[in-house]
Chain A
């Protein structure tokens, strides 16, 4: 990825492997300090990457962010309302089409969506496939004990089986999670963060909240840079591995330092805002303008929603 070029390489994955070898003696275990640095760098990389995609021309990038937000949220609500998994499939297909039309590499998009949350969902839902966890009609009997099996106070029944209800529930949950995450990722990838936050005004969210949200987003990166500095300074002075006890103390003190710094910093920011004429009533300027194409997109989304909801009611 070209995004790596913008970041020093000790911040990216390759650097971590090297630092891991000497920050702890144990190479199997990633040191907490290195792990934190990796997390910080991944976050910066992801957001730089999102902004790059949001700046490209494409279907979703071209939409009025307010209309896009309303449409995407309606799709999210629809996904959570459907009771039949095979009606979620076309909605997932729709996200793929929208991703392709927005010139997002499908390989990257699918990897980003599937990498963590759905796999986690699959692990969570796995035990519910079995009749001993959630009773149901056996679909595939794995083991017939031939007699009532009890484990301490629990009665496990006479067979161990995967139930059809369990499979249905698992497919439904995973599809729901995947499609919801996809919609969220699409919204975040194709909208510049400042526009996304400003478009929240559609829902009459008070201006002060929108201001706080955008200030927070900015200061996250400043605090991340401060945290990186603290961690790098420490790592660069270290000779040999440190014990987990030392790591723990160090991380807690750097949190404390960061807390003190940010508190003092907020006073300075407040002073800076007042000196520029801030009086507690923020002004939020935007130049959003809904065009016929935006309404056309929203109408198509509404049609898709009406179709799947209608289908869901018909199927019961």
Chain B
């Protein structure tokens, strides 16, 4: 399925490179998040494994032999995103050093073999093995089915890429510029052998490896669950962010409230409510005035003389104090977020360093 150079138009090859860039970016981000510094050796050795496994000939009934890609089993063990990077790396080495697959066509090969195959295989496996016990046959069956579907979907996309060349890229006299066959020829030519032979090899190899690991190394089949659990065991940011956004939406409600928040009375309010100001409080009350006292600009406070009867909402007052109130809110929010982000960074960096030392 490795496309050599010369079969694809530069438009197709370039387009697939462009499609792979966000995929690699996302995969890199996800892998960094789940594996941190551990990523490099794990991905590199998985890539080497993927390279070596492609060289293993598997005998099929009927006397033919073929090789497996192993994308699905790699995705099951190290996770789909790490598998995308590992297989892409292995394809890059094949293209650069061993002439297996083209250099310009590398984007296409990574898309088909390095992205479509492991992701399809992995999610099919997850879907079919949901709730199955560890040693159950449903699990290896799910892995084999995932491998079969992943390989065939990858082959189908490869066939479409080939077929577009024949249909779209022709010289003025109708002669083919790149791969000469259209979709109607390329798809059956590619799919029949893959559905009948290559997909079967992939499925048989994946299931047999899975069964072997179920018997001999069951913990390996759970290693990705462990990685994921470790990642989700950290603070989940999503619910936090949603909650904060909801609170932010509620902030303007403060404009409708009158008086001060409970417990945040100023000395003058206490004087009015209680009749006297505690001595200690009196001593300290003038010590600190905020940059934006009462969340309003000094000038706006002049206007807001508090002549309205207490408890009544004055629209006039809201309109006057709203801009100052909102700006105060934004400044405060920025300050709090900045400090929180900075301290979080300091803390996690220290934690990461500690983790590396461990």
Contact = CB atoms under 8 A, between A and B. Distances in A.
Interface of A: 29-33, 35-36, 39-40, 43, 46-47, 50, 73, 76-77, 79-81, 83, 117, 120-121, 124-125, 128, 133-137, 164-166, 168-170, 172-173, 176-181, 184-185, 187-188, 193, 196-197, 206, 208-209, 211-213, 215-220, 222-224, 227, 244, 247-249, 251-260, 262-263, 265-267, 269-270, 273-274, 278-280, 282, 316
B156 to A, nearest CB: 18
Interface in B158-205: 166, 171-181, 185, 204-205
Given A215-B44, A260-B213, A263-B223, A170 B180 contact: yes
A263 B171 CA distance: 51
Interface string B92-103: 110111110011
A117 B99 contact: yes
B201 to A, nearest CB: 10
B204 A206 contact: no
A40 B99 CA distance: 15
Given A184-B102, A258-B52, A280-B37, 19 more contacts: A36-B56, A164-B175, A173-B176, A173-B178, A178-B6, A181-B99, A208-B28, A208-B40, A215-B44, A218-B48, A220-B48, A223-B45, A252-B211, A254-B56, A257-B212, A259-B49, A262-B46, A262-B49, A279-B353
Contacts, number: 271
B44 A216 contact: yes
Interface residues of B, number: 80
Given A185-B99, A251-B58, A274 B53 contact: no
A277 to B, nearest CB: 10
B175 A263 contact: no
B162 to A, nearest CB: 10
B48 A274 contact: no
B55 interface: yes
Contact of A215 (B38, B41, B65): B41
A36 B180 contact: no
Given A177-B4, A316-B172, A212 B44 contact: yes
B20 to A, nearest CB: 12
A206 B37 CA distance: 15
Contacts of A196: 96-97
Contacts of B180: 125, 128, 134, 166, 169-170, 173
Nearest to B174: A165
A256 B41 contact: no
A16 to B, nearest CB: 13
Interface of B is mostly: helix
B77 A259 contact: yes
B301 interface: no
Interface in B16-33: 28
Interface of A is mostly: helix
B214 to A, nearest CB: 10
A266 B45 contact: yes
A121 B93 contact: no
Q: List 9 A-B pairs, minimum CB-CB distance, nearest first.
A: A252-B208, A280-B37, A180-B5, A215-B44, A169-B176, A256-B212, A177-B6, A176-B6, A165-B175
B271 interface: no
Nearest to A193: B97
B71 interface: no
A241 B58 CA distance: 16
Given A168-B175, A216-B89, A252-B58, A227 B52 contact: yes
12 contacts: A35-B65, A46-B98, A50-B97, A184-B5, A184-B96, A215-B41, A216-B48, A223-B45, A253-B208, A262-B48, A270-B42, A273-B41
Given A252-B205, A253-B212, A270-B38, A136 B93 contact: no
Nearest to B73: A259
A169 B7 contact: no
Contact of B41 (A43, A164, A172, A270): A270
B267 interface: no
Interface centre among A208, A220, A253 (most CB of B within 10 A): A220
Contacts of A244: 59-61, 63
A259 B52 CA distance: 10
